[in-house]
């Protein structure tokens, strides 16, 4: 009873607001046609880069900390991907690649950023942004290679990732922060307006995209994949933090981000390269749904 009384307020204040917005997008897409491609492009090219820039431009955390967060994001993602590949056992390469994708790529943008903000404040959001940038870069490079089972040209994958505006907005924000260069008030306010729109738009888009998941399809790998993504991710991150002596806010952000459900981006990659797309879409849906409970518990443990 005590645990329930503790978890309920935590869930209501940090997790529930996020899922209510996701649910709003889900219901909207069920009732009217929603152009996800257009919304996605606005979020990708304007809102998210603005949020990343503002977070890193304003952050007051040491750069050594930011470097460690980026490193841990990369190591955790790669480690989880390898575990997914190995745990798939003797299944065909498409399903092994699908489990590696869904285990290694977590939803650090749509869900990781708002939950980190609500639970850990602006400093937590800044560190979560660094984690998101690092994991997003890996998803657009190694993720492409995994999805294509090693058949995609490395240069093509790398070139695609280098076109992502999030990477450059992160570098620019850090550079201006390091150089203590102040933006004109009018320019910063414009960026601030777009940054404020990012989280709501990402969550609505997630809800819309979840309407396409084949939730009625049963998959033999589903239980294994859900456990690996939602429990294996934060456990691996925690062990890495303990090994490296990382604690405090830095550890909390890393563990929380590693506990996020499977990234929606995996469905794009799986569809493009025919990597068991129905299984991947089902993983996105169920890990997102079940994460309401697992994230509440993890927040209770780290806060």
Residue whose C-alpha is closest to residue 115's, from 250, 15, 9, 12: 15
Quickly list DSSP for the chain: -HHHHHHHHHIIIIIHHHHHHHHHHHHHHHHS---HHHHHHHIIIIIHHHHHHHHHHH--S-HHHHHHHHHHHHHHHHHHHHHHHHHTTTS-HHHHHHHHHHHH-B-TTTTHHHHHHHHHHHHHHHHHHHHHHHHHHHHTTHHHHHHTTT-S-HHHHHHHHHT-HHHHHHHHHHHHHHTTPPPPHHHHHHHHHHHHHHHHHHHHHHHHHHTTS-TT---TTHHHHHHIIIIIHHHHHHHHHHHHT--HHHHHHHHHHHTS-B-THHHHHHHHTTS-HHHHHHHHHHHHHHHHHHHHHHHHHH-
What CATH code would you report for 35-302?
A: 1.20.1530.20
Domain ranges of the chain: 35-302
pLDDT score for 294: 95
| pTM: predicted TM-score of the whole model, two decimal places | 0.86
Quickly list DSSP for 160-182: HHHT-HHHHHHHHHHHHHHTTPP
User: Residue-wise pLDDT tens for the chain (303 aa)?
Assistant: 555 667 778 888 889 999 999 999 999 999 999 888 788 888 888 998 899 899 889 887 777 888 999 999 999 999 999 999 998 877 788 888 889 999 999 999 889 999 999 999 988 998 999 999 888 888 877 887 787 754 455 566 566 667 778 888 988 998 999 899 999 999 999 999 999 998 888 889 888 888 877 765 556 678 889 999 999 999 999 999 999 999 999 999 999 999 999 998 888 778 777 788 888 888 998 999 999 999 999 999 998
Residues recorded for the chain: 303
Residue whose C-alpha is closest to residue 132's, from 55, 230, 201: 55
pLDDT score for 43: 87
Report the distance separating Cα 58 and Cα 123, nearest Å: 9
pLDDT score for 160: 62
Residues 289/283, Cβ–Cβ less than 8 Å: no
pLDDT score for 150: 43
pLDDT score for 53: 92
């Amino acid at each position: 009873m005590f645990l329930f009384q503790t978890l309920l307020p935590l869930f209501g204040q940090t997790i529930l607001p996020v899922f209510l917005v996701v649910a709003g997008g889900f219901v909207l897409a069920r009732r009217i046609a929603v152009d996800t491609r257009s919304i996605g492009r606005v979020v990708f090219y304007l809102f998210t880069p603005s949020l990343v820039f503002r977070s890193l431009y304003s952050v007051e955390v040491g750069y050594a900390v930011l470097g460690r967060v980026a490193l841990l994001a990369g190591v955790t993602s790669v480690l989880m991907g390898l575990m997914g590949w190995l745990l798939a056992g003797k299944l065909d390469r498409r399903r092994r690649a699908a489990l590696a994708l869904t285990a290694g790529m977590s939803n650090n943008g749509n869900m990781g950023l708002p939950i980190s903000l609500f639970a850990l404040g602006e400093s937590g959001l800044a560190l979560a942004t660094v984690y998101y940038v690092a994991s997003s870069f890996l998803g657009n490079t190694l993720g492409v290679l995994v999805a294509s089972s090693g058949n995609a040209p490395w240069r093509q994958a790398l070139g695609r990732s280098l076109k992502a505006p999030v990477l450059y907005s992160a570098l620019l924000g850090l550079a201006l922060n390091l150089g203590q260069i102040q933006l004109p008030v009018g320019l910063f306010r414009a960026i601030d307006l777009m940054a404020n729109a990012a989280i709501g738009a990402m969550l609505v888009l997630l809800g819309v995209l979840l309407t396409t998941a084949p939730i009625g399809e049963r998959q033999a790998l589903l239980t294994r994949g859900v456990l690996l993504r939602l429990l294996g991710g934060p456990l691996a991150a925690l062990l890495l933090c303990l090994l490296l002596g990382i604690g405090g806010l830095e550890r909390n952000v890393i563990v929380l981000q590693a506990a996020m459900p499977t990234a929606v981006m995996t469905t794009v990659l799986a569809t493009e390269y025919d990597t068991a797309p129905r299984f991947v879409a089902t993983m996105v849906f169920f890990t997102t749904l079940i994460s309401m409970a697992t994230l509440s518990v993890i927040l209770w443990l780290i806060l």
